[in-house]
Structure 1
């Protein structure tokens, strides 16, 4: 074989990882092999549909949403789940969740129209987001969607549209607040501590075309401390009681948003999700029991407890989907890492920016493991699925 056919590669020292040493002194290969996805052979899927390919388990999706809703209903009587379209608005995924009773939670005109095209009535759409424009707001008002107000200009726009239509529009006021456990998401909604939320509630109360019927607050994403939700619920209930007393409104729903952690490993968290993520029942019990305690006096005043609304997204869908991707080529990076070019990039898996997604080999690969970067196909330096992972010498195909 002609040596000239091989390009020169600068010599460097690279550690070879053959596996962990067990107590008998033998090395054990740590290849994470998965030749099937949801009981279907990977090779068969690739032959039929090509690569890259997202694969979704309908049964896993149904099991997840049923488990979520039943867990919360064990501790609180009335629970509604709004499927977060921004998490995944694939029509098949949305339809499955709507069949299981989920409403649609949307944040744009596109998502609103997608929900309506799937047969979701306006009365089962939670319209969120800070950038709703007049046209889609007018349609949402006509179709009876649940409008979540994000800022003062939007509030005044909705009032003008309601006046023009001769309607009284029910509104949900979005709050932002500090729990002491997570960084406040102060960009969205009206701040509770500064008095902004109170001012907005009084504005609604003074308008003949608006009616405050709900409160909404999303405290963040991948919340690992369930007590953060307990503080959130306590503050929302205290504000609900105060505003009902001051403005004579009637709050019918408390939407606590999403943020429940999924099975994926968040970058910067040392422990794997199996050890770092609390059990779903821990969240459900703490939220439900706190809400029951904080709303007990409402029954004495002749008022029903508010409906609890959840907007969980990744906690429902993450382990119900897998991405199959193929190796296109390999290279040696300047820092010594092995670079593997894949046919899937951050355009398909943008959550790779903040999650270390689990990586499995579709077939056995002999050879020592080494530090590897998984690179996407885009002509952008940021197209990296994993900056560093220990893999054997995978080859194209």
Structure 2
């Protein structure tokens, strides 16, 4: 497989301008994976989302390689919610990933892609009875989130001839990150211990695994070291107290993607750990604290952002510019917060396509929506631009597509740049027909013009 240049910009020149009063370098992005941005826009229009296949595969292989080098049995599961386009899911399944889903929709999507039930991990705080029954019949891994779900599963499985293997999600205090108390059974209060005891006495359920998911974009590897230590300790408790030998431990996801700047202007950078640093923190703890390191349980990961974010680019065109009453330059582009979710904007770089020696200055970047809150950046460092100039926003591969909303305008196409130079539309641009497909106009209103 051809190796990709994973550093951003792909083949762009970075220049410093002595006239600029801004400390950050002036950068541009003229190509994505070797393809001219202007050529892509000429062919597919603007705005445009571009995904790079080689980056997806290389990220997967790098992360998996770092972990399997330190732990004997590792399995990845692709987090569908991070980017659930069929082509993206298929690429990760080709690399060997299971499917990690949290809803009927995602479960249906995985099954429609031909993923067998036993290759699906079913998570989430709300799992309706029909979905649970389907997952049981298909042989999916169910990870129990709360007491009501546990009771429901015991009722559903009450007449089984053999117990159903399940996992439980555990939340814990790891000291470095604010805990996600919404999900799972708490460790420190003893709740998770009591649930293990309850399942050990059940005639219809069997505890097969423990699951944690400590947060998102975690840049302190000690969070994982402490979490893995506590999860291994809980596995020891289950083994010593109830004789339970677990089939798997699930470390969840949460690895950060790339360098996360403090601002859209890229003035200050936070260090993002390498896959090797994450792997060392997790695997060292497991090797030190698991009850039987000679035959350890399968180690699952539910990876998302770290594998897909840097493979995604948004190309957008400048529509107008002005100076605010305070004297700050502002521009309006044709991609807005309906396409780029505000919660994930802070680490996006905004780069012009064309090179320039003009000095950069703080610029407000607005989207095209009729909302004053449609702001992509309050202080992007950009040189003066003209109507029609192109900008590239990166990285946008994680969550922006799955959390985009249909609002005011048609959502753009998504193009996949293949490993061998292919260009494929993996989601067409919306149309009035596609948007109105589920609508129905009552007969009594049909002829009222």
Q: Which residue of 2 aligns with 1:375?
A: 366
Tell me, in whole angstroms, the C-alpha distance in 2 between the residues paired with 1:345 and 1:264.
23
Structure 2 gaps, min length 5:
1-14, 389-449
Superposition map of 1:1-397 within 5 A:
21=18, 30-163=25-158, 168-267=163-262, 271-273=268-270, 276-295=271-290, 297-298=291-292, 304-350=295-341, 353=344, 355-364=346-355, 367-397=358-388
Between Structure 1 and Structure 2, how many residues are aligned? 372
Tell me, in whole angstroms, the C-alpha distance in 2 between the residues paired with 1:321 and 1:353.
13
Secondary structure of 1:326's aligned partner: strand
Residues 54 and 173 of structure 1: is their aligned pair in 2 closer, same or farther, counting only changes over 3 Å?
same
1:195, distance to aligned residue in structure 2 (A): 1.1
Give the alignment's Cα RMSD to 1 decimal. Answer: 2.5
Tell me, in whole angstroms, the C-alpha distance in 2 between the residues paired with 1:26 and 1:87.
38
Tell me, in whole angstroms, the C-alpha distance in 1 between the residues paired with 2:106 and 2:79.
10
- Whether the aligned pair in 1 keeps the contact of 2:24 and 2:267 (CA below 8 Å) is no
Structure having the higher helix fraction is 1
Tell me, in whole angstroms, the C-alpha distance in 1 between the residues paired with 2:108 and 2:276.
34
Deviations 1:82-103 (A, max 9, x none): 1111111111111000000011
Tell me, in whole angstroms, the C-alpha distance in 1 between the residues paired with 2:347 and 2:221.
23
TM-score (normalised: structure 1): 0.87
Tell me, in whole angstroms, the C-alpha distance in 1 between the residues paired with 2:256 and 2:59.
13
Q: Which residue of 2 aligns with 1:8?
A: none
Tell me, in whole angstroms, the C-alpha distance in 2 between the residues paired with 1:203 and 1:336.
65
Instruction: Give every structure 1 segment of 4 or more consecutive aligned residues whose post-TM-superposition deviation is greater than 6 Å.
Output: 25-29
- Whether the aligned pair in 1 keeps the contact of 2:321 and 2:331 (CA below 8 Å) is yes
1:123, distance to aligned residue in structure 2 (A): 0.6
TM-score (normalised: structure 2): 0.77
Tell me, in whole angstroms, the C-alpha distance in 2 between the residues paired with 1:176 and 1:114.
28
Q: Which residue of 2 aligns with 1:15?
A: none
Deviations 1:317-355 (A, max 9, x none): 111111111112223334432221121122222165452
Higher mean Cα deviation, 277-286 or 232-241? 277-286
Tell me, in whole angstroms, the C-alpha distance in 1 between the residues paired with 2:110 and 2:101.
8
- Whether the aligned pair in 2 keeps the contact of 1:20 and 1:27 (CA below 8 Å) is no
